[in-house]
Amino acid sequence: MHIPEQRFGTGFGKPKFPILLPTTSLADLANKDCWFGMHQLHIDLEFMSLDVKEWATNAALKKSEVNVCAMNVVNDCAERGIKLTSDFVAVARKEQHRQNVLQAVEHDRSQQLAS
């Protein structure tokens, strides 16, 4: 199984939206990283060849949905900002220092969202 290559550097950030044509299928939109994720979550790929109208009744897709819904998801960017703020605000004794810390956290957050 292919391990995603771009997990650092250019692999993060806002993805470029693909050009959609009337002939574009769901499989056309899935890249190597998507396939890796589906494999790791044990998602049966049978549903990708079905018409979307059939998805609601497909047993394999329902089983895969249970796997995905069981995942715990963490917003790393938010967690990082909270940790950074709590660590430094606790040691800031002056109001100006607290404000500087909060501005640094906000700056870091905006940098993470921009990349």
Task: Give the tens place of pLDDT for each residue, 4-33.
Answer: 555 544 556 666 778 889 888 877 887 777
In a domain, 4, yes or no: no
Residue 104 pLDDT exceeds 80: yes
For the chain, the first-to-last Cα distance in angstroms comes to 28
Q: What is the average pLDDT across 23-50?
A: 80
pLDDT of the residue at 57: 92
In a domain, 95, yes or no: yes
Q: Are 47 and 58 in contact (CB under 8 A)?
A: yes
In a domain, 1, yes or no: no
Domain that holds residue 82: 76-114
Which of 21, 18, 19 lies closest to 34 in space, CA to CA? 18
Angle between helix 95-114 and 76-89 (nearest 10): 160
For 5-31, the DSSP string reads S-SSGGGSSPPPPPPP-TT--HHHH--
Judge if 45 and 14 occupy the same domain: yes
3-state DSSP of 73-113: CCCHHHHHHHHHHHHHHCCCCCHHHHHHHHHHHHHHHHHHH
In a domain, 3, yes or no: no
Residue 2 pLDDT exceeds 60: no
Task: Give the tens place of pLDDT for each residue, 57-98.
Answer: 999 888 888 888 888 887 777 787 788 778 777 777 788 888
Specify the number of domains making up the chain: 2
